[in-house]
Amino acid sequence: MQVDEKTVRRIARLARIKITDAEAKGLEKELTQILEWVEQLDEVDTTNVEPMTRVVAQKLKTREDKVTDGEMADAVTANAPMTEDHFYVVPKVVE
Amino acid sequence: MTDLTKLTLAQARDGLARKEFTALELTDAHLRAIEAANGALNAYVLVTPDHARAQAKESDKRLAAGKGGALEGLPLGNKDLFCTKGIRTTACSKILDDFKPPYESTVGQNLWDAGAVMLGKLNNDEFAMGSSNETSAFGNVVSPWRRKGKDGKLSADKLVPGGSSGGSSAAVAADLCLAATATDTGGSIRQPAALTGTVGIKPTYGRCSRWGIVAFASSLDQAGPLAKTVRDAAIMLKVMASHDPKDTTSVDAPVPDYEAALTKGLKGLKVGVPKEYRVEGMSKEIETLWDDGIAWLKAAGATIHDISLPHTKYALPAYYIVAPAEASSNLARYDGMRYGLRVPGKDLIDTYENTRAAGFGKEVRRRILIGTYVLSAGYYDAYYLKAQKVRTLIKRDFDEAFKTVDVVFTPTTPSPAFALGEKTGDPLAMYLEDIFTVTVNMAGLPGMSVPAGLSSQGTPLGLQLIGKPFDEETLFRTAQAIEDAAGRFTVPEKWWTKG
């Protein structure tokens, strides 16, 4: 799979990572190389093979639908770059 | 007094019980060792002396009252991937900045509840993505081991301690803690163990809680210890492992007394040797070591059986789809809004993009982009789903093998420790470091690396044991037999303490 510069830019946009022109060029090569290498998986016949979803057969656990936590707004917002009255302050989203 | 940092975890525990020294003396000895070494080795990214001394004083009180826990007063290092309440946790990434978690990881809490003392936070590859500890935002860790030149003198070349748990492996090998926490997503406990002459075990997926550990690839990540001896690793895992309602993938099964398993012997044990691990490019020394190991296990009463794990060669490429895919999803949370770094831009999206470009290092960005690509519209089936199917086949190979054998025996790495910078230019060459360890994560099985010899250049080499799900006990007793035969491998010269 050849990854071109346009694809690299699209992927970087999806991943929300800004890349420079020089980086885009380098990534084109690196991603192509890695994706070509993983293509060897095409040799493996996976017809009728279920994808692995868990390591050991285990029932997904559930718990009672009950509030067990809360009332800790100070702790929750303590690490935020900007806060006001227990709210996160973010760049303007709607005009 | 003897150098307390040279003790094993078990020796220190027994010494404290006999009141030969206090927990505070033990902690102080380690803090002094860290101060003398960390400038050269960079194993710790944060040393917490006040915290450690306060814990040690409490331990001394409990020991005096006869109320000591299983790890009472024993100083440990904690990988910076484990959240520590009120103490900076960064996963060695700039994007977490000065993050101080308001909670403790479950594995960490288990250790402190058992009386252990935390000396500080250990360096690792950024978000645990790397095999040499060269992707850390805090800089490289230097291995305490050095190569021996032809003249028999130690070379000044700086070697890698392995990765991603490179701070953990270096600290344990250099006597900067009695044992350390670590995590393993594709080999990040076992490969550093092999490269530093330490013992490392990645338990079965679900054995240790992942709660409070910075997530890399959730279906592969597991915590485990790095330690000086097999016994020390057994003592550590017993405390680290637990069922945790806060991690739905943690398994509700009793945790056996691993230390008791050490003396069980190998009589009647069936050991499988997979032919697929004799790969091209494997160093001759490793091959010889593997044969030595087989001979030791035979001599200890085990029988050796040739087995086949036909999908072995597909584990690494499948891993490099699954792990980046899960990482791209897990790391989406670092958006500069709720914690960590924020680099303002002209609008919200621009702020996201600036923050993530500045906060993530090169390897992390590369993996997020690969993950984003393989999960993007139209590619999910071709990559992620295909890789998860291949995972089923890898697991089936092991299920088949375990019908006839009790444990699988392989080398841990294809070659000994390499020098800093030797593999950083080529991501694929670095990825190959995990060729023998990654199958175990893909199948969710327990795997352990035991030091087994030295290379011709005098650097450590390790052998790997792979067990049935939740059968860590067999790994411990087999590892003990290897340690009994091979002996321990300690750093010949503490070169960093000399002017």
Q: What sign does the CA torsion over B48, B51, B52, B53 have?
A: positive
State residue B279's pLDDT score: 84
Q: Whole domain around residue A14: which residue ranges?
A: 5-43
- Gap between the Cα atoms of B140 and B137, Å rounded: 8
pLDDT of residue B1: 59
Residue B220 token pair:
């592969």
**C-alpha to C-alpha distance for A31 and A17, rounded to whole angstroms:** 15
The C-alpha angle with vertex B208 and arms to A62 and B369, in degrees rounded to 5, equals: 85
CA distance A68 to B395: 37
Q: How far, in Å, CA of B477 to CA of B374, rounded?
A: 41
> Looking at CA atoms only, how far is residue B102 from chain A in angstroms?
6
B113-126 confidence digits (pLDDT tens): 999 999 999 999 99
Q: Is the pLDDT of residue B267 over 80?
A: yes
pLDDT given for residue B425 in this prediction: 81
List CB contacts (< 8 A) between A54 and chain B.
249, 444
CB contacts, 8 Å: B339 with chain A: 79-81
- End-to-end CA gap in chain A: 41
Assess A15–B contact: CB distance below 8 Å, yes or no. yes
* Contact status, residue B184 vs residue B455, Cβ threshold 8 Å: no
CB-based contacts of A76: which residues, under 8 Å, 6+ apart?
Answer: A86, B102
Q: How far is B399 from chain A (nearest CA, A)?
A: 11
Range B4-264 has CATH code 3.90.1300.10: yes
Residue tagged active-site, from B79, B202, B228, B238: B79
The separation between the first and the last C-alpha atoms of chain B, rounded to the nearest angstrom, is 24
Neighbours of B149 (CB within 10 A): 13
In chain B, residues with a C-beta closer than 8 Å to the C-beta of A50 are 389, 392
Interchain CB distance below 8 Å, B335 and A16:
yes
Is position A36 within any domain? yes
In a domain, A95, yes or no: no
Answer yes or no: are the C-beta atoms of B289 and B194 closer than 8 Å: no
Q: Alpha carbon of B265 to those of A42, A62, B269, B293, B480: distances in Å?
A: 44, 41, 9, 15, 9
d(CA B101, CA A79): 8
* β-pair partners for B159: B419
Per residue in B286-298, pLDDT (tens digit) is: 999 999 999 999 9
Yes or no, beta carbons of A37 and B320 under 8 Å apart: yes
Catalytic residue among B59, B132, B143, B164: B164
| CB pairs < 8 Å spanning A and B | 155
What was the pLDDT predicted at B144? 98
Q: How far apart are CA B367 and CA B320, in angstroms?
A: 9
Query: Is residue A62 in some structural domain?
Result: no
pLDDT tens digits for A25-58?
999 999 999 999 999 999 999 999 999 987 777 7
Cβ atoms of residues B309 and B274 within 8 Å: yes
What three-state secondary structure class fits B5? helix
User: What is the mean predicted confidence (pLDDT) over B166-175?
Assistant: 98
DSSP per position, B435-457: TTTHHHHHHT--EEEEEEEE-TT
Question: Any idea what the CATH number is for the domain that residue A17 is in?
Answer: 1.10.20
B467 burial level (CB within 10 Å; 0-12, 13-18, 19+) = buried
Hey, is the C-beta of B379 within 8 angstroms of any chain A C-beta?
A: no
Compute the mean pLDDT over every residue in chain B, rounded to the nearest whole number.
96
- Strand-by-strand arrangement of the B447-454 sheet: B44-47, B117-122, B75-79, B179-184, B222-227, B199-202, B447-454, B460-467, B407-411, B270-274, B303-307
Q: How confident is the model at residue B497 (pLDDT cuts 50, 70, 90)?
A: confident
Count of residues making up chain B: 499
Tally of structural domains, chain A: 1
In a domain, A49, yes or no: no
Identify the CA nearest to A56 among candidates B381, B318, B273, B446: B446
Name the percent of chain A in helix, strand, coil, to the closest 5.
40, 5, 55
Is B79 marked active-site? yes
Residue B36 has pLDDT above 90, yes or no: yes
State the pTM of this model. 0.97
**DSSP-based three-state secondary structure for B362:** helix
pLDDT tens column, B301-330: 999 999 999 999 999 999 999 999 999 999
Residues 44-83 of A with CB under 8 A from B: 44, 46, 49-56, 58, 60-61, 63, 72, 75-82
| CA–CA dist B485, B499 (Å, integer) | 37
Q: Give the count of beta carbons closer than 10 Å to the beta carbon of residue B465.
A: 28
Place of tokens 């021996």: B148
- Asked if the bond preceding B164 is cis, omega within 30° of 0, the reply is yes
Q: What is the CB neighbour count within 10 angstroms for residue B294?
A: 16
**Where do we find the tokens 């030791």?**
B296
CB proximity under 8 Å: A 20-49 to B: 27, 30-31, 33-35, 37-41, 43-44, 46, 49
Cβ atoms of B454 and B460 within 8 Å: the answer is: yes
Q: Strands (DSSP E) along B285-387, which ranges? A: 303-307
Is the predicted pLDDT of residue B431 greater than 90, yes or no?
Answer: no
Q: How far, CA to CA in Å, does A19 sit from each of B7, B92, B353, B366?
A: 49, 22, 9, 11
Give CA–CA dist B368/B333, Å, rounded: 12
Mode of pairing for the β-strands spanning B179-184 and B222-227: antiparallel
Mean pLDDT within B180-206:
98
Q: Quick one: pLDDT at residue B429?
A: 79
* Token duo for residue B210: 């992942």
In a domain, A80, yes or no: no
- The partner residue sitting opposite B205, judged by closest CB among A16, A17, A55, is A55
Mean pLDDT, rounded, for B66-70: 97
Q: What ipTM is given for this predicted complex?
A: 0.95
